[in-house]
Structure 1
Amino acid sequence: MSKVMMYSRQVCPYCDRAEALLRSRGVDQIEKIMVDTNTQGRDEMMSRTGRRTVPQIYIGDTHVGGFDDLAALDRAGGLRTLLNGIS
């Protein structure tokens, strides 16, 4: 399974929903970078993604985007493929 990394905050309903969706698809490890307590992580997120909102999710080297993007990818059937490293 592909590595999952998520820029997040301690209090973030969309981050919680993204994590729940990923776990429901079999992801057991999510590397989290907490941008509310890690200014370097926040700067890195904004530089890598061009976005200021969380969550920002990477699966492998692919920037999925936020929760809405993740949910849309799942509905389209692409999330399992991406998680399994098949592109």
Structure 2
Amino acid sequence: MKQVEIYTSPLCGYCHAAKRLLSKKGVAFVEHDVSRDPSLRAVMVQRAKGGRTVPQIFVGETHVGGSDDLHALDHAGKLDALLKD
């Protein structure tokens, strides 16, 4: 399974929803809390091609987008294929 990274902040409901979906699917992920380390926000914005809101989700080198994008991929049946090596 590809590595999943999610940039979050603690009070973000969309972040919690994205993490719940990933956990429900049994997907391990690396969480980067941008509220605790401002330099992480700059990395996130660069990787997300200007995306400034959290969450920003990456599967391998693929930028998925935010929680709504992640849920849309799952609903369309495309998330599992993206997660595979």
Query: Cα RMSD over matched residues?
Result: 0.8
1:11 positional shift: 1.3
- Give the total of aligned pairs: 84
Q: List alignment gaps of at least 5 residues for structure 2.
A: none
Per the normalisation by structure 2, the TM-score is 0.93
Amino acid at match of 1:20: R
Q: Which amino acid aligns with 1:37?
A: R
**Structure 1 residue ranges (4+ consecutive) displaced by more than 2 angstroms after TM superposition:** none
Q: Structure 2 CA distance, aligned partners of 1:79 and 1:22?
A: 10
Match of residue 15 from structure 1: 15
Structure 1: tracts of 5 or more residues without a match: none
CA distance, structure 1, for counterparts of residue 47 and residue 84 of structure 2: 23
Residues 7-50 of structure 1 show CA distances to partners (whole Å, capped at 9, x for unaligned) of: 000111111100010111121x2111111111110011111111
Q: State percent identity of aligned pairs.
A: 46
Matches within 5 A, 1:57-76: 57-76=57-76
